[in-house]
């Protein structure tokens, strides 16, 4: 297992280098010049060509592209990718200030998703084609059909109309004020988690139905084992492998930021920061956030693969 993990970590290097090259190239070929945007204050003012060229020299945009790319890579290695072209603050500091919110929202959303999806998926499978199954399938399909932004708006309207209360805006660190943090984060987590749970519950139901038809499950029933033992000790553990894969992919995507939920609930997370930076052509910020997302996906996928061996002892990595 240790050798497998080391090999996977080594293989991440060319993957991340390819991602860095792609995002670096895309940011240089998309229309718009960041120096012009900065010099004209987002297009609201007027700047001469000399001022724009001077600014390009200052922020290094006139350097040859290979040199710009090399500076970017060495900056990543040293954890110093420079400053934001708009705010002037170090990019790493900007990212770190938003990471706690994004990680907390991602974990809470996954927790909500799994808490809803696993019981629904299991109950739908063991009560197949009964009213329980039909009810839970309707709930799952509703989650697939309802966009998370619409659910977020409904939550705010429901709380304001029926309880005369609106969730606190912004973000407060959990260690500063735990209760206010929970009030701010639980509602976007519910909106995102319900949407994600629809996919997970459908997958749980499908895999549970497959496992329940296996011979060893029939043997367990024939031995007279209790339903709880057959379902949770023998069936669910093997049925969870595809579910863990989907959940891992969802977590990786959430770690890259959830723009719509952050916008609706006014949360200063990575998603909103990324969209604003793309609009501003803030190269260092966009490149760093994309690399963070690529690393998050890589490590989540590795964690999922390692979890396979724990759930299914027959799986061995060499």
Average pLDDT over residues 238-256: 81
Average pLDDT over residues 210-225: 82
Alpha carbons 228 and 231: distance in angstroms, whole number? 5
The end-to-end CA distance of the chain, in Å, is 7
Q: What integer pLDDT is reported at residue 42 of this predicted model?
A: 60
* Rg, Å, the chain Cα set: 24
Q: What integer pLDDT is reported at residue 316 of this predicted model?
A: 63
Alpha carbons 251 and 176: distance in angstroms, whole number? 25
Alpha carbons 199 and 294: distance in angstroms, whole number? 23
- Please state the domain extents for the chain: 18-79, 96-311
Task: Look up the pTM and report it.
Answer: 0.80
Beta strands in 169-301 (DSSP E): none
Residue 79 has pLDDT above 70, yes or no: yes
Neighbours of 313 (CB within 10 A): 8
Q: Which two tokens stand for residue 89?
A: 């603050």
Q: What integer pLDDT is reported at residue 60 of this predicted model?
A: 76
Mean pLDDT for the chain overall: 81
User: Interior CA angle at 26 toward 23 and 27, to 5°?
Assistant: 85
* pLDDT tens digits for range 109-142: 899 989 988 888 888 888 888 888 888 888 888 8
Between 32 and 130, the higher pLDDT residue: 130
Residue 281 has pLDDT above 70, yes or no: yes
pLDDT confidence band for 311 (50 / 70 / 90): low
Q: How far is CA 313 from CA 32, 234, 308, 317, in A?
A: 54, 13, 8, 11
pLDDT confidence band for 43 (50 / 70 / 90): low
Alpha carbons 93 and 276: distance in angstroms, whole number? 17
* pLDDT tens digits for range 138-189: 888 887 777 777 777 777 777 777 777 777 777 777 788 888 888 888 888 8
Q: What integer pLDDT is reported at residue 239 of this predicted model?
A: 81
pLDDT confidence band for 214 (50 / 70 / 90): confident
The CATH superfamily of 96-311 is MetI-like (1.10.3720.10)
Alpha carbons 122 and 181: distance in angstroms, whole number? 32
Beta strands in the chain (DSSP E): none
Residue 257 · residue 271 · CB < 8 Å: yes
Alpha carbons 315 and 6: distance in angstroms, whole number? 18
Q: Which residue has the tokens 């912004």?
A: 170
- Which residues lie closer than 8 Å to 249 by C-beta, 6 or more apart? 297, 300, 301
């Amino acid at each position: 297992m240790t050798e497998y993990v080391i090999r996977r970590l080594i293989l991440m290097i060319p993957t991340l280098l390819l991602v860095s090259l792609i995002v670096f190239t895309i940011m240089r070929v998309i229309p718009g010049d960041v120096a012009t945007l900065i010099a004209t204050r987002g297009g609201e003012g007027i700047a001469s060509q000399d001022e724009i060229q001077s600014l390009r020299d200052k922020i290094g945009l006139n350097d040859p592209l290979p040199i710009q790319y090399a500076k970017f890579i060495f900056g990543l290695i040293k954890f110093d990718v420079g400053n934001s072209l708009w705010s002037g603050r170090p990019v790493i500091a900007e990212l770190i200030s938003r990471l706690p919110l994004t990680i907390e929202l991602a974990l809470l959303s996954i927790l909500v998703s799994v808490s809803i999806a696993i019981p629904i998926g299991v109950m739908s499978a063991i009560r197949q084609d009964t009213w329980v199954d039909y009810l839970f399938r309707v709930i799952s399909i509703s989650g697939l059909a309802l966009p998370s932004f619409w659910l977020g708006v409904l939550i705010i309207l429901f709380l304001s109309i029926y309880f005369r209360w609106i969730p606190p805006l912004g973000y407060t660190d959990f260690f500063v004020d735990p209760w206010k943090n929970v009030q701010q984060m639980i509602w976007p987590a519910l909106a995102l988690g319900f949407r994600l749970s629809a996919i997970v519950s459908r997958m749980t139901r499908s895999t549970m139905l497959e496992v329940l038809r296996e011979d060893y499950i029939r043997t367990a029933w024939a031995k007279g084992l209790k339903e709880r033992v057959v379902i949770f000790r023998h069936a669910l553990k093997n049925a969870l492998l595809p579910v863990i894969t989907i959940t891992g992919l969802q977590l990786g995507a959430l770690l890259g930021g959830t723009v719509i939920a952050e916008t609706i609930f006014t949360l200063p997370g990575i998603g909103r920061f990324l969209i604003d930076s793309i609009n501003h052509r803030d190269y260092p910020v966009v490149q760093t956030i994309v690399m963070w997302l690529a690393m998050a996906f890589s490590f989540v996928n590795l964690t999922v693969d390692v979890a396979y061996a724990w759930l299914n002892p027959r799986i061995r990595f060499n």
